[in-house]
Amino acid sequence: MTRNKESQKYPASRPVSSGFSPLLTPLTYFFVKIIVPFYFKLEVRGQENLPRKNGIILAPTHRSRWDPLIVAHTAGWLVTGRQLRYMVSEEQTQGFQGWFVSRLGGFPVDRNNPGISSIRHSLEILQNQEMLVLFPEGRIYQDHEIQPLQPGVARIALQAISGQTNVNLKIIPISIVYDRPAPPPWRCGVKVTIGSALEVKDYADESVKKGAKKLTAQIESCLKQLHQKY
């Protein structure tokens, strides 16, 4: 997709960036390694499906504000040797919390009116062969059903490989199931299942709109299959 077409599709917005603090990032990962299995009764399957190279979108279900920490614990730096970047809602990048988020790979998006800067930064991350966490349901749902997915994940993925012959991009569906509703209580059971990779290039032969529709349906189908195991 050309920059002019991007501008027509998404409204203008202030520049967006993300980065990693050389001190805060490793400390946070080690903290997560301790606190997540301490607070939860955690069961993880499928870590062998996590690629150690190339561009990756991690596409988890979203049931709690704990989800980013769960993903960091099961798929982040101490597991894959790779840093995770997160597209998060604007309110999570404000105040003291925002200070931390912006130094741990997080960057904002307006969920109701995504700006071109957030989309463009996502494309840059993926074209640089990094790992990006996108929650395809769009927001937190406090139930055990997979909600209809938003098309944004698939559209970003297909735009990232458009005209980029050197970009090998995969999407990894991840099911996160809590034993009890959010907010999860102390020693709540959490079952994390990491699915097999979806090759984005397999959906790039048609228009972005048609390819995104098929890819979104496939991500949703994979999440439902992973969820049904519990």
199 inside domain: yes
8 inside domain: no
Q: Is residue 2 exposed (0-12), middle (13-18) or buried (19+ Cβ within 10 Å)?
A: exposed
Classify each residue of 6-42 as buried b or exposed e, where b means 16 or more C-beta atoms within 10 Å of its C-beta.
eeeebeebeebebebeeeebeebbeebbeebeebbeb
Indicate the number of domains in the chain: 1
3-state helix/strand/coil string of the chain = CCHHHHHHHCCCCCCCCCCECCCHHHHHHHHHHHHHHHHCEEEEECHHHCCCCCEEEEEECCCCCCHHHHHHHHHCHHHHCCCEEEEEEHHHHCHHHHHHHHCECEEEECCCCCCHHHHHHHHHHHHCCCEEECCCCCCCCCCCCCCCCCCHHHHHHHHHHCCCCCCCEEEEEEEEEECCCCCCCCCCEEEEEECCCEEHHHHCCCCHHHHHHHHHHHHHHHHHHHHHCC
Candidates 85, 169, 76, 194; CA nearest to 132 is 85
Look at strands 198-199 and 169-178 and give their pairing.
antiparallel
164 inside domain: yes
pLDDT at 67: 95
pLDDT cut 70: percent of the chain above it = 93
Query: Do residues 86 and 135 touch, judged by C-beta distance below 8 A?
Result: no
Say which residue, 122 or 115, is predicted with more confidence. Answer: 122
pLDDT at 3: 42
The 10s digit of each residue's pLDDT in 8-42 is: 454 445 688 899 999 999 999 999 999 999 999 99
84 inside domain: yes
d(CA 85, CA 76) in angstroms, rounded, equals 10
Mean predicted lDDT score pLDDT of the chain: 90
81 inside domain: yes
Q: Which of 44-53, 61-70, 76-85, 98-107 has the lowest mean pLDDT?
A: 98-107
pLDDT at 13: 58
Work out the angle at residue 108's Cα, subtended by the Cα atoms of residues 214 and 67, and round it to the nearest 5 degrees.
70
139 inside domain: yes
Q: Check which CATH number belongs to the domain holding 71 and give it.
A: 3.40.1130.10
48 inside domain: no
- Residue 26's domain comprises 20-43+54-228
pLDDT cut 90: percent of the chain above it = 73
pTM of the shown model: 0.91
195 inside domain: yes
